[in-house]
Structure 1
Amino acid sequence: MRLLTAALALGGLSTIAKAHEELDNSPKSQEPFVGWTKEDLDAKWGTDWGFSGISTFAHLPHTRCLQHPDEEYDIAILGAPFDTAVSYRPGARFGPRAIRAASSRQSSMRSYNPRAGLNPYADWAKVIDCGDIPITPFDNALALRQMTEAYTNLAHSKATAANAKSEVTYRNKPKLLSLGGDHSIALPTLRALSSIYGPVAVVHFDAHLDTWHPAKYPSAWIDPEDPTQQSFFTHGTMFWLAHNESLIAKDKSVHAGLRTRLSGIGDNEEDTSQGWIRFSTDDIDDLGVKTLAKQIVDHVGTETPVYLSIDIDVIDPGLAPGTGTPEPGGWTTRELIRVLRRIDALNVVAADVVEVSPAFDGSGEQTALAGAQVAYEILTSMVKRGKVGGKVEREPKTEL
């Protein structure tokens, strides 16, 4: 390995070829591992091609963080393979696996993002894959408890020692990026965030409101006046539940990409009463990306703690068919990414990419690829936010 390094420094192809020949024929190469340093072994065996290696997100190191609470990190990828709160097509429990596989062409070696001027995997943040929450598919009450406990535990983890006391306060607390799973995973995440930051703003990209009262799914089997019923917990009601639990900051939250059918205009009136503003799919044409993004940032503010929630069905099903509740007429993948890049001034303390359902994806895995790219853009913006001299978040409500 030292011969190869020296050859590269000299800069000649013939020298490199000669170094290879000498290395291959050296006695050292015939004696497995004898004389090799850790640096040598990492350089020789420590990288993967996009198609090789264990399937973690972007080939990141993997720790089962829920079993290793002393693990320090700055940003964690966490899978939430849960889909038994869906209203139409199931299958998003396989979303984390599909998004991880689709991220295989990302790596710390080759993930420089020109728009931000950084590589999110090789900057100030220690980014790891925390694996999946083992969530039961048989009992939604237990599943919600498992997810709430898991997110709360991880939200109280420690940032790396170098960043826990950084002058850039955005670095002081670890951040979570969840791979869903159906969209109901937002409720346990918001519960966890509230224990750290108090109520947070939600910036929500979706074809659907997800603020519906559970009685919008009428049934003679339920009492619409009883908020404790387990059937009230769905991927279309979790923000209604979060509002009732006072987890969402008042008049700071935004929907974007909406185009769903409603049960009536009362759906929008109820949404407004919960403190949301709405941007439809068509607004991207009428306002343009720049203006739409600016209005989102101006409404939320750059210091308010934000939960960024991306339902992949905000993208048109012609481009992202692998989802549970597809709605024709959505944004392109490029439009979504352009908006995300334009709102990178937001103080994102946690995020998700949800509703990827690979059983309905195309042979080219385009929905999973879109999910992986969106996750990469979110990671980039998190790391950019934490750069020295960047915007800083308000002080957290509690010290951990």
Structure 2
Amino acid sequence: MALSLQLTLTLLTVLLSLRSILAHSHSQHDTASSEEEQPLSFSVGPNYPYALEDLDKDLPFSQPVTFAHLPWQRCFSASHKSPLDIAVVGFPYDTSTSYRPGARFGPRGIRAASSREKKGRSYNTIWGIDPFTDGGLNIVDCGDIPITPFDAQHAFRQMEQGYRQILYHNTSATSASASTNVWSHPRILSLGGDHSIVLPVLRSLKTIYGPISVIHLDSHLDTWDPYAGYTGIVSEQSAITHGTFFWHAAREGCIAKGSSVHGGLRTKLFSPADYGTDKEVVGFELIEAHEIDDEPRGMSGIAARVKSIVGTTNPVYLSIDIDVLDPSIAPATGTPESGGWTTREVKRFIKGLEGIRLVGADVVEVSPPYDTVAEVTSVAASDLLVDIMALMVKDSLGKAERKDTVGGKEARKDEL
């Protein structure tokens, strides 16, 4: 009995020694191995019979929904200090729509439709870059501004405050390690929401850039004088709708007259005088949707024409109402108009803007309740936003390559 106990203790001692030797050997191997060769070290409990794999991955149909699987950060928190170079911000607001509501669900629909876009399969052959990885920019989904649906006046204050919080956030341009970003203020991609969200956006941008050149793609004017023929005015706040906000923005000095463009126009009017408001009061050069058929170079010619109007030195804001697309392509919008451009044509238009000084952009009026089960409108909107992001990233890469743009104080002053 004593011999058996002694033998058992001897065997246990040998086994413990072997375990110690093996553990030491593994420890040395882990230290010497590269990061890619290190074994997975998390615990899955006892008696798991299969080899471990890295499950820290996103699939197109998995994970909490952010735009293109971008990291989500609580950018509106006072404690948020991480640099922002390009921020995606949702505006879930449709209280100012005049016909079909539902655009408050636009940000959620656009994000869901962007699920196939993600780092790792995002190289864009048309742009020649990967907008999610090239340049090392901090691109973040900041979530939505919390906007009340009950009080339009307060909602506009919330939108302006939220946009300003992001606009005046620090960027990587202030960091010594910044290699490509030369913008002192974040550039924001806004997800609408009805089109009136652009009024607090332009008010915010004016505080930095002054009157700004606007590229407005829309089937409707959105420059109606609310006090001359527009119905439903019962208060000063009710005069601000998704059809009048550009009129207010122009009167407040937010829009640079003579260097702004309205393209894709095909709406019916109260009278021909409405075009006069668009041109003279707001200062838009007008390009009707049908002109694409008359332009010898098609959309390339229209894009070149727009670029010549806004220039390459003026700060430019791009606003795309999804109803600039034909409703056969994008039915889920508040006020659809037949005879619009195709998604391919608008994508070609965005590519033709390369070289402009884009300080912000939006895609608005996406109303998922009216979409098909295939989410065609939201898919179109998300893809246009990815192209706009590529335009912004390409701009940063181009500026970083020019000696006269980087390396000195002039490259990082507030006007950029």
Q: TM-score range by the shorter chain?
A: 0.7 to 0.9
Give the alignment's Cα RMSD to 1 decimal.
2.9
- What secondary structure sits across from 1:318 in the alignment? coil
Q: Return the match for 2:396 from 379, 386, 389.
A: 386
Q: Does 1:230 align with 2:237?
A: yes
Paired with 1:184 and 1:354, the residues of 2 have a C-alpha distance of 9
- What secondary structure sits across from 2:360 in the alignment? strand
Which 10-residue stretch deviates more, 127-136 or 115-124?
115-124
- What secondary structure sits across from 1:348 in the alignment? strand
Q: Return the match for 1:246 from 239, 245, 253.
A: 253
Q: Does 1:284 align with 2:296?
A: no
Q: Does 1:109 align with 2:120?
A: yes
Shift of 1:173: 2.2
Q: Return the match for 2:59 from 35, 45, 49.
A: 49
Distance 1:395 1:240, change over 3 A: farther
Q: Return the match for 2:189 from 177, 181, 185.
A: 177
- 1:140: which partner in 2? 152
Q: Return the match for 2:85 from 74, 80, 87.
A: 74
- 1:126: which partner in 2? 138
Please, what TM-score do these two structures have when normalized by structure 1? 0.85
Paired with 1:209 and 1:335, the residues of 2 have a C-alpha distance of 20
Q: Indicate if the aligned counterparts of 1:303 and 1:392 stay in contact, CA closer than 8 A.
A: no
- 1:267: which partner in 2? 274
Q: Indicate if the aligned counterparts of 2:233 and 2:239 stay in contact, CA closer than 8 A.
A: no
Paired with 1:33 and 1:309, the residues of 2 have a C-alpha distance of 53
Q: Indicate if the aligned counterparts of 1:163 and 1:171 stay in contact, CA closer than 8 A.
A: no
- 2:44: which partner in 1? 32
Which letter does structure 1 place at the counterpart of 2:126? R
Aligned pairs for 1:287-306 (under 5 A) are 287=295, 288-306=298-316
Shift of 1:71: 2.8
Q: Does 1:194 align with 2:202?
A: no
Paired with 2:124 and 2:411, the residues of 1 have a C-alpha distance of 29
Q: Indicate if the aligned counterparts of 1:119 and 1:380 stay in contact, CA closer than 8 A.
A: yes
Q: Does 1:348 align with 2:358?
A: yes
Q: Indicate if the aligned counterparts of 1:121 and 1:127 stay in contact, CA closer than 8 A.
A: yes
Structure 1: gaps of 5 or more residues: 10-18, 35-40, 223-227
Distance 1:118 1:245, change over 3 A: same
- What secondary structure sits across from 1:328 in the alignment? coil
Distance 1:366 1:32, change over 3 A: same
Shift of 1:249: 1.3
Q: Deviations over 1:150-191 (max 9, x none)?
A: 111211011125668968674332100000000000000001
Please, what TM-score do these two structures have when normalized by structure 2? 0.82
- 1:61: which partner in 2? 71
Paired with 2:405 and 2:222, the residues of 1 have a C-alpha distance of 30
Paired with 1:283 and 1:75, the residues of 2 have a C-alpha distance of 33
Paired with 2:45 and 2:122, the residues of 1 have a C-alpha distance of 31
Paired with 1:83 and 1:336, the residues of 2 have a C-alpha distance of 24
Q: Indicate if the aligned counterparts of 2:173 and 2:184 stay in contact, CA closer than 8 A.
A: no
Paired with 1:277 and 1:61, the residues of 2 have a C-alpha distance of 38
Q: Indicate if the aligned counterparts of 1:169 and 1:395 stay in contact, CA closer than 8 A.
A: no
